């Protein structure tokens, strides 16, 4: 029985501590491919993230030359910071290997594709962001997704009450 608990806790704790999640992105976009990227951060940004403070809702990523930058992500100023504090919505460089950058650049050249952040987390003590290549949904696609989710809940509720 002790082994089962060890396995279960190891499975749940994979070294990731979630800081922020962008649920709106999954609603507004059709996610095609995801990547894990490192971030170039200042010291006060890391401290603010360790406090669990960040907002991904308005974020996106864009290329500047051959490099990919995360923009629009709000990491508030560190409360105990001094004159060395960071700007909350500054551009942050994403760390990916060349093959992944080329693949992302190729996909985003297609019409309607963009790069959105999905999650911001610490993995083994390092700040990581999960980015996705996404295509914007139309309004009717959003309504259809909501309808399917509601139908699924209703059928699960009906099956759950008939068994009990």
pTM beyond 0.85: the answer is: no
**pLDDT computed for residue 6 by the predictor:** 42
Distance, CA of 32 to CA of 133 (rounded, Å): 6
Superfamily in which the 15-137 domain is placed by CATH:
Small protein B (2.40.280.10)
**pLDDT computed for residue 81 by the predictor:** 65
**pLDDT computed for residue 46 by the predictor:** 85
Distance, CA of 117 to CA of 133 (rounded, Å): 9
Containing 140, the helix (H) or strand (E) segment is helix 139-163
């Amino acid at each position: 029985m002790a082994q089962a608990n060890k396995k279960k806790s190891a499975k749940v704790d994979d070294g990731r501590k979630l800081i922020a999640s962008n649920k709106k992105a999954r609603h507004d976009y059709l996610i095609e491919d995801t990547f894990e990227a490192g971030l170039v951060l200042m010291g006060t940004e890391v401290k603010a993230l360790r406090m669990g403070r960040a907002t991904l809702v308005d974020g996106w990523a864009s290329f500047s030359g051959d490099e990919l930058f995360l923009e629009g992500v709000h990491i508030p100023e560190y409360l105990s910071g001094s004159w060395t504090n960071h700007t909350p919505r500054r551009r942050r460089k994403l760390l990916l290997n060349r093959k992944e950058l080329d693949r992302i650049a190729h996909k985003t050249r297609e019409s309607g594709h963009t790069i959105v952040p999905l999650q911001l987390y610490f993995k083994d003590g390092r700040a990581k962001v999960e980015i996705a290549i996404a295509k914007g949904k139309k309004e009717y696609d959003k309504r259809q997704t909501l309808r399917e989710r509601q139908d699924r809940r209703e059928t699960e509720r009906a099956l759950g009450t008939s068994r009990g």
